[in-house]
């Protein structure tokens, strides 16, 4: 979930509609920005603690892993094992975006 707002005097679209040639950001851009939020040390990858925090904040997979009783560390370990292929125990930005795109569909 996210929250967005504009001030009354902000005209972000300049009177145009999205169909008038203004492109809306695609999901990849959104997930890339989300990755940057969790990549606090700017190393270009997320380790288990950062993926755990991501899972905890968004309760990713809660229904598949026991609802509110699921363990975020176990989910993070599963995600790292399933999607973290370039460096063991880490998710690159590309792997994170790919994972997030699969979960969003």
Summarize the confidence of residues 45-73 as an average pLDDT: 78
Summarize the confidence of residues 75-101 as an average pLDDT: 92
Place 55 in a pLDDT band, splitting at 50, 70 and 90.
confident
Query: 102 phi and psi, to 5 degrees?
Result: -65, -40
Summarize the confidence of residues 68-83 as an average pLDDT: 86
The pLDDT value given to residue 53: 92
User: What pTM did the predictor assign?
Assistant: 0.67
Length of the chain: 105
What angle (nearest 5°) sits at the alpha carbon of residue 78, between those of residues 77 and 83? 105
Say how far apart CA 46 and CA 56 lie, in whole Å: 14
Contacts of 33 (CB under 8 A, 6+ apart): none
Contacts of 58 (CB under 8 A, 6+ apart): none
């Amino acid at each position: 979930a996210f929250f967005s707002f504009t001030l009354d005097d902000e005209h972000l679209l300049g009177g145009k509609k999205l169909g008038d040639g203004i492109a809306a950001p695609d999901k990849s851009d959104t997930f890339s920005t989300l990755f940057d939020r969790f990549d606090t040390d700017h190393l270009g990858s997320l380790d288990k603690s950062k993926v755990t925090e991501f899972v905890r904040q968004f309760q990713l997979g809660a229904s598949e892993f026991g609802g509110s009783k699921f363990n975020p560390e176990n989910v993070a370990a599963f995600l790292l094992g399933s999607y973290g292929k370039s460096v063991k125990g880490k998710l690159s930005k590309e792997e994170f975006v790919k994972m997030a795109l699969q979960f969003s569909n």
